[in-house]
Structure 1
Amino acid sequence: MAGAAAFTLALSACNAAGPQAQSTPTDVSFGPTTSEAAGKIGSFTWMITQEPATFDLDVDSATAENTIMSNVCERLMQLQPDLTTTPHLAEKAEWTSDTTVVFTLRKDVKFHDGSPMTADDVLWSMQRHAAKGADESDEYANVTDMAKTGDNQITVTMKQRDAIFLQAMAGNGGIVLNRKVVEAQGANYGSPSAPDACSGPLKLDKWSAGSSITLTKAADYWDADNAAMADTITFRWADDNAIVNALTSGEAQGAYLDSPATAGPLQKSDKVQIAQGPSTNVWSLIATERGALKDERIRQALSLALNRQGVAQAAFGGLAKPWKAPVGPGSWGYEEPTFSAAYEALAGAPAQPSNEDLDKAKKLVQEAGAPAEPIVVANSGDSIRNVISSALVEAAQKIGLKAEIVTIPRQQYGDFYSDASLRAQADLFSDEYYISKNDPVGFYKNGASTAKVNFVKFASESYDNKVKEAQATTDDAARAKLAIDLEKQWTDAVVWIPVAHTPATIAMSKDISGAPSSASFLYYPWAADVGSSKK
């Protein structure tokens, strides 16, 4: 914790007007993109914090996978650097009735093997994403039928109108795959030896397992106006300290920083530029079904006692903000002042707990009864989770609870979402959760009684009904009101314990520019925009 706490940066004054008002150091720019590239570039090296597990994004799609494959695979809709959504492989998406949306597909798209994208490929891809157990299957929960209704047309029928479905098609649920390539590879698809099955501006050239991944500019990319500016991009992985060394030495030219605190030492380099941008990302302590936190009063007590300001400073060097909700302001894509005011009114998650907060927490513990066994919080050994886990243990001790830390290997940590036996080892695990949509409803569906990440089995008929109503409401003001009600119910029950909002943070050599500084890099082909900062 002492090492992380050394990264102390001055913060500028801010208000809560929305994404453009997030706390950032005075010498760090904030916005959706960095300066437009001035010219093409031969190659550059980009750092990530761990090796991808697979490139089959229906199996796993964490940050490492998305950072790379956002440049290789394309979607029916496309998330933009300002987190808005536009048509992409679908040239048009139109609601033709309250329950029917029609995608009109582009006719000029070609996959990397030269074959044309067809409506059959699109339908097959959507069915694959919707299949039980697929990583994006929840995006299709409201779908009753998908059909090819023309040579370049797909019609999707819903149980009810779904206001966020089109935004979801800008995420991994909207990726269009080359069916024949995926089927030819079988179980090998997504492995280091398999080709990609996509149509983006960059293609997978080589995955040297344990070492590096190389992308090359796609020849004859169908969207010539948005072809990649670089010929070759090499991805390497290392821990935060090694990433700092690679960037300051010039061995690598950029990275989207896993921890904003990493920006601290990089700011001392005259070779590196730092920028931040809007995101939906929030680090939360996610309660499992193990047992100790089934009583919401224990979750409420821990939330009241947690020192979020301390975590924001120690774990993120002041480049994150204590946060009261499970999703960040990058989701406020409409009715922004309304969402901001509702956020400010939330209670139960103080930046720094007061004596009154601690007294309330102790009373809640007395009412609920302290769990017989210590509360177990999972750590992975990295600096952020070290700080968050220690803060949770400290919070528990202040209010008469016992808590301890169990260490789970980092490469296993993502399995908390899918592996019940792993969740049985801990009452809480910390993670940075984000959504591809600029709509809070896209997050709060996770509190529905049937949601697969609602591990504590929070159940409310009112909540479930409001999720359905919000998804079906296309009027922005009315949907915002419903989303705010969902936010209030979620935070009152403390389904997850929110900790800190992290704006997207990018570090780049001053010799290159053009990359988005927002969280769009997870789904937008950011690397295609990177070029030389000089003509």
Structure 2
Amino acid sequence: MRRFLPLALALPLALAAPRAEAVPFTWAYGADVLTLDPHASNNTFTNAFLGNVYETMARHNERLELEPALAERWETIAPNVWRFHLRRGVKFHGGEDFTADDVVFSWARISSPGALAKGNLSQVVDVRAVDDYTVDIETRGPFPILLNALTQFYIMDRGWSERQNAALSSNLTSREENAAGRMANGTGPFRVVSRQVDGPTVMEAFPGWWDRPRHNLTTVTFQPIRAASTRTAALISGAVDALVELPIQDIPRIEGNSALQVVQGPELRTIYLGFDHNRDELQYSDVRGRNPFRDLRVRRAVYQAIDVETLRRTIMRGNSWVAGSMASPFLSGSPEPGDEAQRRTFPYDPDAAKRLLAEAGYPEGFGVSLSCPNDRYVYDERLCLAIIGMLGRVGIRVTPQVETTNVWSRRINGLDTSFFMLGHAGLPLADAYSTLQEVLMTRSERTGGLNVGRWSNAEFDALVQRIAEEGDEPRRRALIREALLIEKREVGHVPLHQQPVIWAARRGIALAPSPDNRMRLWLVRMP
């Protein structure tokens, strides 16, 4: 797997033996977790947060290397069957024993109607227990990156879930939440003590954790703080010990404070614009009787009306990496930077955009709404407003539909949008296949769970199916490149950039940062 260059000013992971006395840790982010139900959300931050409470059979470490977790080892016993030997002696936070029955139950639960976390497991057809500590997983065909896919398959205790009337996943789309949305019982290094929506979520170190703790924490408090200026002020005042996603404009302020430190580098996430390709008439547009985004010329006009270099320089203050592809070049399997599949397809050219709109039958342009979050991505609202100005100059009159993450997420999950900003990090696989399968494949029960605009191409879908089964890495990379070029030619989406990872903390705290922007609390050490 391709690795990131070392992050600038990376906070080192202390390797010394834990101190006798441990300490509390408080950290902040710009949005709350959507739910504690590990199967109900496909939100990257929520999934990452829950990785401190629930566990999977294999996991990525801070270097994005795969390593055993609830499974000690595995092997393939047939081209499409993997056998996993589970770790013995593992306890859930409630004291229950972890067994194969919990894995089989969790597979059924993540397959229930309300679950949104199954996308990367679309190649799995069956999970069955061989005995109490052995599980076979059968896939539709050879699936060489199954271990990557399993890094988001969180295991729940069957008995606890049934006692809480939470045998099925919560359904965030229909706002149907069960007890697992507000309480948790995992096997991870921290257990939830209390949960307050849009307030603090308090956890404590789980003394029965099977792994060797590298942290020295007793309690952890997560505090969502939506306003960027308030988050920074909380760090400076000492109200929080660390924060994820420091505002770019505050980097010099924090670096100039001898009591604080900053870490930054490229994130895996690609920020992009998407179109509603599916509806005959857009929901939020002044065009009647047709969908302008079904015309390649209109999509290309949008692409060429946006000056991504200006966005990088002025909005992102130079702290982003212009994207020419929907899959970050830092993801495993992606083409290298500079390859045709990673370069911008068309140049910024507003005059060309106007000509394309006229050719498509919109010489005076048209109106449409753009769905954007204001607390999900780095400078998301500012980016959207700048893009709206650029599109306005070629005749596309855009109404901002700016909402908090909770509201925007419901809109995105409900496909209630005509034109939208979204981001995808290729996680949990840390592989380009995740973007291809989840974001770009035709939306179905098994694929395209994040294909909000419902772009569809049969040739592309067939290639992704071949990628899923291809065990030869050079050939797999070639197929990934071919698939990305198909989407680029159709301008199915408009990639903007890879945003930065920017964390900050009190000096001396070791956070073990990673390009997947995941706070692994079991690696955090306080001075």
- Report the TM-score range of the alignment, normalised by the length of the smaller protein: 0.7 to 0.9
Alignment of 1:353-368 (within 5 A): 353=348, 357-368=349-360
Alpha-carbon separation, structure 2, partners of 1:146 and 1:64 = 27
Alpha-carbon separation, structure 1, partners of 2:146 and 2:307 = 37
Name 1:246's counterpart in structure 2.
234
Alignment of 1:295-310 (within 5 A): 295-310=295-310
Note the C-alpha offset of 1:118.
0.5
- Matched residue SS, 2:410: helix
Alpha-carbon separation, structure 2, partners of 1:94 and 1:18 = 24
Q: Which moved more, 1:33-42 or 1:251-260?
A: 33-42
The answer to whether the Cα contact below 8 Å between 1:19 and 1:329 also exists between their aligned partners in 2 is no
Say which of 381, 390, 403 aligns to 1:386: 381
Alpha-carbon separation, structure 1, partners of 2:503 and 2:112 = 35
The answer to whether the Cα contact below 8 Å between 2:193 and 2:202 also exists between their aligned partners in 1 is yes
Name 1:236's counterpart in structure 2.
223
Alpha-carbon separation, structure 1, partners of 2:275 and 2:249 = 25
The answer to whether the Cα contact below 8 Å between 1:161 and 1:471 also exists between their aligned partners in 2 is yes
- Matched residue SS, 2:91: coil
Q: Does 1:505 align with 2:505?
A: no
Alignment of 1:515-534 (within 5 A): 515-519=512-516, 521=518, 526-533=520-527
| Identity, % of aligned positions | 20
TM-score normalised by L of structure 1: 0.85
- Matched residue SS, 1:458: coil
Q: Does 1:402 align with 2:380?
A: no
Say which of 54, 73, 87 aligns to 2:68: 87
Q: Which moved more, 1:205-214 or 1:373-382?
A: 373-382
TM-score normalised by L of structure 2: 0.86
The answer to whether the Cα contact below 8 Å between 2:306 and 2:387 also exists between their aligned partners in 1 is yes
Alpha-carbon separation, structure 2, partners of 1:469 and 1:385 = 35
Say which of 34, 41, 62 aligns to 2:12: 34
Q: Does 1:281 align with 2:269?
A: yes
Name 1:14's counterpart in structure 2.
none
Name 1:476's counterpart in structure 2.
473
Alpha-carbon separation, structure 2, partners of 1:299 and 1:391 = 18
Cα deviations by residue, 1:320-353 (Å, 9 ceiling, x for unpaired): 222122232331x35x7x5334257533255xx2
Cα deviations by residue, 1:425-448 (Å, 9 ceiling, x for unpaired): xx2221332221232112112322
Letter in 2 for 1:391: A
Name 1:375's counterpart in structure 2.
368
Note the C-alpha offset of 1:18.
7.0
- Matched residue SS, 2:487: helix
**Are residues 264 and 89 of structure 1, via their aligned partners in 2, closer, same or farther at CA, if it must alter by over 3 Å?**
same
Alpha-carbon separation, structure 2, partners of 1:152 and 1:18 = 33
Alpha-carbon separation, structure 1, partners of 2:323 and 2:2 = 13
Q: Does 1:263 align with 2:251?
A: yes
Note the C-alpha offset of 1:515.
2.7
Alignment of 1:179-198 (within 5 A): 179-186=158-165, 188-192=178-182, 194=183, 196-198=184-186
Letter in 2 for 1:448: M
Cα deviations by residue, 1:12-31 (Å, 9 ceiling, x for unpaired): xxxxx976459x8xxx436x
- Matched residue SS, 2:484: helix
- Matched residue SS, 1:293: helix
Alignment of 1:104-119 (within 5 A): 104-119=85-100
Note the C-alpha offset of 1:469.
0.3
Note the C-alpha offset of 1:210.
4.0
Alpha-carbon separation, structure 1, partners of 2:83 and 2:72 = 11
Letter in 1 for 2:325: A
Say which of 414, 419, 429 aligns to 1:419: 414
Alpha-carbon separation, structure 2, partners of 1:301 and 1:242 = 39
Alpha-carbon separation, structure 1, partners of 2:38 and 2:248 = 26
Note the C-alpha offset of 1:237.
1.4
Note the C-alpha offset of 1:63.
4.3
Q: Which runs of 5+ in 2 are unaligned?
A: 167-177, 283-290
Q: Which moved more, 1:471-480 or 1:255-264?
A: 255-264
**Are residues 118 and 46 of structure 1, via their aligned partners in 2, closer, same or farther at CA, if it must alter by over 3 Å?**
same
- Matched residue SS, 1:82: coil
Cα deviations by residue, 1:73-107 (Å, 9 ceiling, x for unpaired): 11111011111222211112322222112222111
Q: Which has the higher contact order (CA 8 A, sep 6+)?
A: 1
Alpha-carbon separation, structure 2, partners of 1:175 and 1:108 = 18
Letter in 1 for 2:65: T
- Matched residue SS, 2:339: helix
Alignment coverage as a number of residue pairs: 491
Note the C-alpha offset of 1:285.
1.4
The answer to whether the Cα contact below 8 Å between 2:365 and 2:394 also exists between their aligned partners in 1 is no
The CA RMSD measured in Å over matched residues stands at: 2.6
Letter in 2 for 1:316: M
**Are residues 514 and 197 of structure 1, via their aligned partners in 2, closer, same or farther at CA, if it must alter by over 3 Å?**
same
Q: Does 1:161 align with 2:161?
A: no
Alpha-carbon separation, structure 2, partners of 1:349 and 1:35 = 43
Alpha-carbon separation, structure 2, partners of 1:514 and 1:457 = 38
- Matched residue SS, 1:126: helix
Letter in 2 for 1:484: R
Note the C-alpha offset of 1:64.
4.4
- Matched residue SS, 2:518: helix
Name 1:326's counterpart in structure 2.
326
Q: Which runs of 5+ in 1 are unaligned?
A: 1-16
**Are residues 163 and 299 of structure 1, via their aligned partners in 2, closer, same or farther at CA, if it must alter by over 3 Å?**
farther
**Are residues 503 and 62 of structure 1, via their aligned partners in 2, closer, same or farther at CA, if it must alter by over 3 Å?**
same
The answer to whether the Cα contact below 8 Å between 1:18 and 1:340 also exists between their aligned partners in 2 is no
